[in-house]
């Protein structure tokens, strides 16, 4: 990880989402993130304001596709999701119910 604290974390390099770890993220902001399991820094621009603790897409996620976080399936997309889009209840449904 670089000496600058990351704006978001990715737990597993297979993950489709990153988690925002700072407040005040605005649409169009370029973020720096840390992929923890491989100690790699990445950058991505978000398309929406993303609240602290919320997720955003790191890649294209197609409607019906599984969404991975922690390297595990946390749900499936109910709409197409572009890189940088907010990922939340409006576009992902949990696989648990």
CB 12 within 8 A of CB 70: yes
Q: Where are the beta strands (DSSP E) in the chain?
A: 8-10, 17-20, 30-35, 40-45, 55-57, 66-69, 72-77, 86-87, 92-93
Instruction: Tell me whether strands 66-69 and 30-35 are parallel, antiparallel or unpaired.
Output: unpaired
Q: Does 89 map to a domain?
A: yes
Q: Does 81 map to a domain?
A: yes
State how far the Cα of 82 lies from the Cα of 95, in Å rounded to an integer: 20
**Region at 71 (left for phi over 0; alpha for psi -120 to 50; beta for the rest):** left
User: What's the confidence (pLDDT) of residue 4?
Assistant: 86
Q: Does 19 map to a domain?
A: yes
User: What's the confidence (pLDDT) of residue 2?
Assistant: 59
**Region at 75 (left for phi over 0; alpha for psi -120 to 50; beta for the rest):** left
Regions of the chain with pLDDT less than 70: 1-2, 97
pTM of the entire predicted model: 0.92
Total domains present in the chain: 1
Q: Which domain holds residue 61?
A: 8-93
The CATH number of whichever domain residue 59 belongs to comes to 2.30.130.110
7-29: pLDDT as tens digits = 999 999 999 999 999 999 999 99
Query: Which strands sit side by side in the sheet containing 30-35, from one edge to the other?
Result: 40-45, 30-35, 8-10, 17-20, 55-57, 86-87
């Amino acid at each position: 990880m670089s000496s600058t604290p990351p704006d978001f974390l990715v737990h597993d390099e297979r993950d489709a989402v990153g988690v925002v770890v700072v407040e005040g993220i605005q649409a169009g902001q370029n973020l720096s993130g840390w992929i923890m399991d491989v100690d790699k820094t990445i950058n991505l621009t978000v398309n929406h304001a993303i609240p602290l603790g919320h997720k955003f897409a790191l890649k294209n996620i197609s409607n019906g596709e599984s969404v991975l976080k922690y390297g595990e399936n946390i749900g499936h997309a109910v709409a197409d999701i572009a890189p940088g889009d907010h990922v939340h209840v409006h576009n992902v449904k949990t696989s648990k119910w």
